[in-house]
């Protein structure tokens, strides 16, 4: 008991410490993401557009070392390809992202979208004949290109600040997706050259210049190209990257719950049967 109390006290002190260290940062805006609820999944259109924003904007400073291009096309990925049979014509048509029902999953190695995404990126490699360093077009099995060869180079280009790896950033920050989205929208134009005022960043001043500019990324699906939309989309992509199996996990959870409920019902009936006629 005493031990439990002292652990609780230590935790409380640590929490206060973190709150103080966080300074005057504003509480993130609670945005209703599709994945927030216990049964909610990803909006794959959002995740696809978010990848585009990452690729065209964030990837010039931030790596995502845990991700390979092939992950984008695996089951549950934003560019997973399915062949769906048209009811009227009987023809098979490609569908990017899981269709509402049916569809045959196309293995990543045969997914032209993933191959195109990878081949648009130049990856550092060793030339097999000369042994010299070279660059080649990316392949689905390559991990995401890191914009810098090492942390020293990354800091040297960013005024001493380090653009963190974004692979699991929504899990690594208090406030998760809401914090990331708020941070991207938290600039007010105030800057001293090296640092930019952002009310959601602990301490209030961040070395990252406002990365999102209205209209800078062209969307093919007609979605509006505002800073707010970019922030929502790229955050959804970062959440998917950090937790790609969330949908399966939630589904399994629901099946387990349904099973337990059924089991409880059966046990109750068995109990009634066994004790029928007994006074207790």
CA distance 251 to 241: 19
Q: Give the binding range for ligand HEC (CB under 6 A) out of 102-110, 203-211, 221-229, 253-261.
A: 203-211
Other Cβ atoms less than 10 A from the Cβ of 77: the count is 26
Which CB, 58 or 72, lies closer to ligand HEC? 58
For position 208 contacting ligand HEC by CB under 6 A, the verdict is: yes
Which CB, 143 or 162, lies closer to ligand HEC? 162
For position 176 contacting ligand HEC by CB under 6 A, the verdict is: no
For position 212 contacting ligand HEC by CB under 6 A, the verdict is: yes
Q: What are the residues whose beta carbons fall under 8 Å from the beta carbon of 92, sequence distance 6 or more?
A: 83, 84, 85, 86
- Residue 20 phi, psi (nearest 5): -70, -45
Q: What are the residues whose beta carbons fall under 8 Å from the beta carbon of 26, sequence distance 6 or more?
A: 182, 186, 199, 200
Q: Are 119 and 69 in contact (CB under 8 A)?
A: no
CA distance 221 to 118: 21
For position 57 contacting ligand HEC by CB under 6 A, the verdict is: yes
Q: Which of 25, 44, 58, 67 binds ligand HEC (CB under 6 A)?
A: 58
For position 28 contacting ligand HEC by CB under 6 A, the verdict is: no
Q: Which of 28, 163, 186, 244 binds ligand HEC (CB under 6 A)?
A: 163
- Residue 5 phi, psi (nearest 5): -65, -45
Q: Which of 207, 219, 225, 250 binds ligand HEC (CB under 6 A)?
A: 207
For position 206 contacting ligand HEC by CB under 6 A, the verdict is: yes
Binding site for ligand HEC (CB under 6 A): 53, 57-58, 60-62, 158, 161-164, 169, 173, 180, 183-184, 206-209, 211-212, 234
């Amino acid at each position: 008991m005493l031990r439990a109390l002292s652990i609780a006290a230590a935790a409380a002190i640590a929490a206060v410490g973190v709150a103080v260290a966080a300074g005057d940062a504003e509480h993130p805006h609670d945005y209703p993401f599709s994945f927030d609820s216990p049964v909610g999944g990803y909006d794959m259109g959002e995740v696809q557009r978010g990848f585009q924003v990452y690729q065209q904007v964030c990837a010039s400073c931030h790596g995502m070392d845990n991700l390979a291009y092939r992950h984008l096309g695996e089951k549950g990925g934003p560019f997973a390809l399915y062949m769906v049979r048209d009811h009227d014509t009987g023809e098979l048509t490609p569908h990017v992202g899981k269709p509402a029902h049916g569809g045959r999953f196309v293995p990543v190695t045969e997914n032209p979208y993933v191959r195109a995404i990878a081949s648009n990126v130049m990856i550092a490699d060793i030339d097999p004949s000369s042994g010299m360093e070279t660059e080649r077009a990316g392949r689905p099995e390559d991990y995401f290109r890191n914009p810098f060869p090492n942390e020293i180079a990354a800091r040297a280009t960013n005024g001493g600040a380090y653009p963190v790896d974004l692979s699991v950033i929504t899990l690594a920050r208090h406030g998760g997706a809401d914090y990331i989205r708020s941070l991207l929208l938290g600039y007010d134009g105030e800057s001293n050259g090296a640092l930019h005022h952002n009310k959601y960043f602990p301490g209030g001043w961040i070395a990252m210049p406002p990365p999102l500019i209205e209209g800078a990324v062209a969307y093919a699906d007609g979605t509006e190209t505002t800073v707010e939309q970019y922030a929502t989309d790229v955050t959804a992509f970062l959440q998917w990257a950090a937790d790609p199996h969330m949908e399966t996990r939630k589904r399994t959870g629901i099946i387990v719950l349904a099973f337990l409920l059924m089991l409880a019902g059966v046990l109750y009936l068995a109990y009634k049967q066994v004790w029928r006629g007994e006074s207790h």
